[in-house]
Structure 1
Amino acid sequence: MRTDAPGPDDDVADFAAAVHAVVLRLRRLGERRLGLELLPTSELEVLAHVIDHPDATVTTVARALGLQSSNVSTTVQHLVTKGLMERLPDPRDGRRTLLRPTTKAQDDRRRIDGAWTAVLGQFLDELPDADRGAALAATMALARLAEIDLG
């Protein structure tokens, strides 16, 4: 973090670096504590989207994430091989394949969410009250940031 007077772009860069650092720590401490394999970011992103949007297609996932369909298809194959996703024929259109997370993927997601909550709780407990309050006050703004579609 900077010690000189930051400008607006510096503030954004500092915020981005802080969010990135927290996410990396959460992944290391959360998933590893559970003994789960750390998925590559591309697999994690596709899997998270399918968990949140079951019965998506490769095309809809690619569009939503701003990725190439061929890359999503390859990623899906890796997730299927790992037992985290399944491909099912669309009962309304046999030419389409629907993507669904497996029970294992859904269970892992719940365990990860719990681990992240525990780790973040420990982080927050270490902060001074004012910093803890500021971090918790940012919850809605962070949730809104996560929903913004820049694609």
Structure 2
Amino acid sequence: MALRVVFPTKSSGAADRCAREILETVPLVMRVVRAEMRRQGALVVSVPQFRALAFVERHPGVSLAGVAEHLGVTAPTASTIVDRLVRRGLVGRVPDPEERRRVVLSLTPAGGRLFARLRARARRQVATRLEGASAADLRKVTAALAVLDRLFREEARVIG
């Protein structure tokens, strides 16, 4: 018989149920957004490339390893994704002045313009879905997201 140790935490009860709902709902929302982008042919870049552009836009000067970690892929896979963006002139790659073996990434002006258009399109798609909600529900969602932002933003900033 295995011994199960339960450590008491504040996350019991309501917080645990809320965590479960978040972990089930956020991927669902993102899956629908990605499918809609593909269905409309909106992506002139792949979903992983879009995610890489978004990460580089938020973290100019990030390393390839940082992109790989964010995307949850290996360094060679991230390198392939970034190479395609570099060849298209959307991402710039320059040697890190402090560590010669490392490169740092940033969006080019063309990459910034394309990403802004793609992000605006994704935002419109989400807004279209949200139009089916009542004003009261939209206020609740907005308030809940503000709470999540407050609870997670600082740690997310620290970890990249």
Contact 1:31–1:37 (8 Å) recurs in 2: no
TM-superposed CA distance for 1:126, in Å, is 1.5
Q: 1:36 aligns with which of 43, 67, 70?
A: 43
Structure 2 gap segments, 5+ residues each: 1-12
Task: Give the Cα–Cα distance (whole angstroms) in 1 for the partners of residues 149 and 118 of structure 2.
Answer: 18
Alignment of 1:137 onto 2:139: no
TM-score by length of 2: 0.64
Question: Counterpart of 1:73?
Answer: 79
TM-superposed CA distance for 1:127, in Å, is 0.8
Contact 2:57–2:112 (8 Å) recurs in 1: yes
The alignment covers a number of residue pairs equal to 145
SS of residue in 2 equivalent to 1:126:
coil
Q: 2:30 aligns with which of 23, 29, 33?
A: 23
TM-score by length of 1: 0.67
Task: Give the Cα–Cα distance (whole angstroms) in 2 for the partners of residues 79 and 107 of structure 1.
Answer: 13
Higher Rg of the two aligned structures: 2
Question: Counterpart of 2:115?
Answer: 109
Task: Give the Cα–Cα distance (whole angstroms) in 1 for the partners of residues 62 and 115 of structure 2.
Answer: 18
- Greater length-normalized contact order (CA 8 Å, ≥ 6 residues apart): 1
Structure 1 gap segments, 5+ residues each: 1-5
What one-letter code is carried by the residue in structure 2 that aligns with 1:28? Answer: A
Question: Counterpart of 1:3?
Answer: none
Question: Counterpart of 2:133?
Answer: 127
Alignment of 1:87 onto 2:87: no
Query: For each residue in 1:44-74, what CA deviation from the matched residue of structure 2 results, as whole angstroms up to 9, or x when unmatched?
Result: 4333221112222224445666765444333
What one-letter code is carried by the residue in structure 1 that aligns with 2:26? Answer: V
